[in-house]
């Protein structure tokens, strides 16, 4: 029998610092809730290894994407120093909604998130595990000198650039399944053919980017794939998108590693978005990513932190992790009232449009009905 490598899950006690305060949608209790469910359901499962990290990302590592001025401003503001021009560096959704200040200690939590993504990448590249997960990762809105969308440092961009520099990777597939467009990640790699960036997100909501015609520029033209979905888009639409767009592109691109990120906010019962996935849909996503990872020696990195409905968030995260790892688990879900994927016809129209935009750059996109 072939030995089945463990899936490594990285976490840190310092994640408690990644918290924007009472009244904000992003609280650190999400990590506590997930770990509780993980230990209950998988605590004795030998296929998974929970690794605790206490190390923080260095300034040098943060500078794979962020400017020195931005890093210093975040460090100062997080320590309680008043920054007169704070909103030059962050948006209003990145402050405590009551005090209107940058939360004390949050920068330390943000450094933890980045370091855990880098360590997760090391685990995979050094073959200590086939798959690694960073609980807290996927902070995809942070730009090089501006934090927004509950994101301080963009661990996705930093991890990908780290992979290029340390391991000389030249073909990285980044798959963003968060309900919001990954504007920071997209900006970083918009002209870079070393990254195939595929982004599924609800259209018409924050941050207002990620249109289907935005496919990259310069040498990176054709390497950005945006799939803006209508409200109510559900499991079947996602499955068709994987089969018609994502899998064919991955097979042609032949990635050296797959980085997927996104949590539970595309779920039908999420509090701030309107997509229609169920737990079964998230399991399907994990299974498809596992299939894609076969193209690169089963190597994949998963970054998970989003979601805004406490009673469903942990179950979705666990569904993504177990299906990515090929492990079956029973989780009960009060099924949302979704009769069918009413957006399927619209999704097929979107697929046709995306293929039309991409066909000059990819053989796999040239043939469609």
Q: pLDDT (tens digit, 9 = 90+) per residue, 138-150?
A: 999 999 999 999 9
pLDDT band for position 28 (50/70/90)? Answer: very high
**How far apart are the C-alpha atoms of 295 and 255, rounded to whole Å?**
7
Listed in sequence order, the residues at least 6 apart from 245 whose beta carbon sits closer than 8 Å to its beta carbon are 198, 225, 227, 351, 354, 355, 365
For the cut 80, the answer to whether the pLDDT of residue 136 exceeds it is: yes
> Which pLDDT belongs to residue 333?
77
Domain membership flag for residue 2: no
CATH number, domain of 241, equals: 3.40.800.20
- Count of structural domains, the chain: 1
Which residue matches tokens 């190597």? Answer: 299
pLDDT band for position 337 (50/70/90)? Answer: low
Domain membership flag for residue 264: yes
> Which pLDDT belongs to residue 62?
98
> Which pLDDT belongs to residue 134?
98
Return phi, psi of residue 254, to 5°: 55, 65
Domain membership flag for residue 40: yes
Query: Residue range 34-53: average pLDDT?
Result: 94
- The boundaries of the domain holding residue 310 are 7-332+344-365
> Which pLDDT belongs to residue 341?
67
> Which pLDDT belongs to residue 182?
98
Query: Residue range 301-305: average pLDDT?
Result: 98
Query: Residue range 299-326: average pLDDT?
Result: 95
Classify burial at 314, counting beta carbons within 10 Å of its beta carbon; exposed 0-12, middle 13-18, buried 19 or more: buried
Q: Looking at residue 74, what DSSP letter applies?
A: H
Beta bridge partner(s), residue 172: 195, 257
Domain membership flag for residue 291: yes
For residues 106-134, one letter each, b for 16 or more C-beta atoms within 10 angstroms of the residue's C-beta and e for the rest, the string is bbbbbbbbbbbbbbbbbbbbeeebbbbbb
Residue 102: name the closest of 24, 31, 154 by CA: 24
Helices (H), 79-207: 106-125, 155-167, 183-189
Number of H helices, E strands in the chain: 11, 8
Residue 53: name the closest of 122, 104, 5 by CA: 122
Domain membership flag for residue 337: no
**How far apart are the C-alpha atoms of 277 and 307, rounded to whole Å?**
12
**How far apart are the C-alpha atoms of 73 and 145, rounded to whole Å?**
10
> Which pLDDT belongs to residue 271?
83
For the cut 50, the answer to whether the pLDDT of residue 19 exceeds it is: yes
> What's the mean per-residue pLDDT of the chain?
95
**How far apart are the C-alpha atoms of 213 and 224, rounded to whole Å?**
10
Return phi, psi of residue 4, to 5°: -95, 115
Share above pLDDT 90 across residues of the chain, in percent, rounded to a whole number = 92
- Inter-helix orientation angle 29-42/310-325, to 10°: 50
> Which pLDDT belongs to residue 1?
28
**How far apart are the C-alpha atoms of 28 and 22, rounded to whole Å?**
10
Measured in Å, how far apart are the chain's first and last C-alpha atoms? 43
């Amino acid at each position: 029998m072939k030995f089945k490598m463990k899936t490594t899950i990285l976490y840190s006690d310092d994640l408690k610092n990644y918290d924007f305060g009472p009244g904000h949608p992003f609280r650190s209790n999400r990590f506590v809730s997930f770990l509780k469910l993980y230990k209950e359901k998988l605590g004795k499962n030998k296929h998974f290894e929970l690794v605790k990290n206490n190390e923080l990302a260095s300034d040098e590592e943060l500078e794979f994407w962020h400017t020195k001025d931005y890093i210093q401003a975040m460090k100062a503001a997080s320590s309680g120093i008043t920054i007169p021009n704070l909103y030059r560096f962050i948006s209003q959704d990145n402050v405590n909604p009551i005090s209107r200040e940058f939360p004390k200690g949050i920068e330390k939590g943000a450094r933890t998130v980045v370091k855990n993504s880098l360590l997760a990448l090391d685990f995979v590249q050094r073959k200590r595990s086939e798959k690694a997960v960073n609980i807290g990762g996927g902070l995809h809105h942070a730009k090089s000198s501006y934090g927004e969308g509950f994101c301080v440092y963009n661990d996705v961009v930093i991890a990908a650039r780290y992979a290029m520099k340390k391991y000389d990777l030249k073909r990285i597939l980044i798959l963003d399944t968060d309900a919001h467009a990954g504007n920071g990640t997209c900006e970083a790699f918009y002209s870079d053919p070393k990254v195939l960036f595929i982004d599924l997100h609800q259209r018409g909501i924050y941050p207002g980017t990620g249109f289907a015609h935005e496919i990259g520029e310069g040498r990176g033209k054709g390497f950005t794939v945006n799939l803006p979905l209508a409200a109510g888009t559900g499991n079947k639409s996602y499955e068709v998108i994987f089969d018609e767009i994502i899998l064919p592109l991955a097979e042609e691109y032949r990635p050296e590693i797959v980085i997927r990120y996104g949590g539970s906010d595309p779920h039908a019962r999420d509090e701030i978005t309107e997509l229609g996935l169920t737990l079964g849909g998230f399991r399907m996503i994990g299974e498809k990513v596992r299939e894609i990872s076969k193209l690169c020696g089963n190597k994949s990195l998963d970054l998970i932190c989003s979601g805004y409905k406490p009673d469903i968030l942990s179950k979705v995260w666990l569904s993504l992790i177990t299906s990515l790892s090929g492990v079956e688990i029973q989780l009960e879900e009060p099924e949302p009232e979704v009769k069918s994927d009413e957006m399927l016809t619209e999704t097929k129209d979107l697929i046709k449009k995306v293929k039309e935009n991409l066909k000059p750059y990819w053989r796999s996109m040239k043939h469609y009905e």
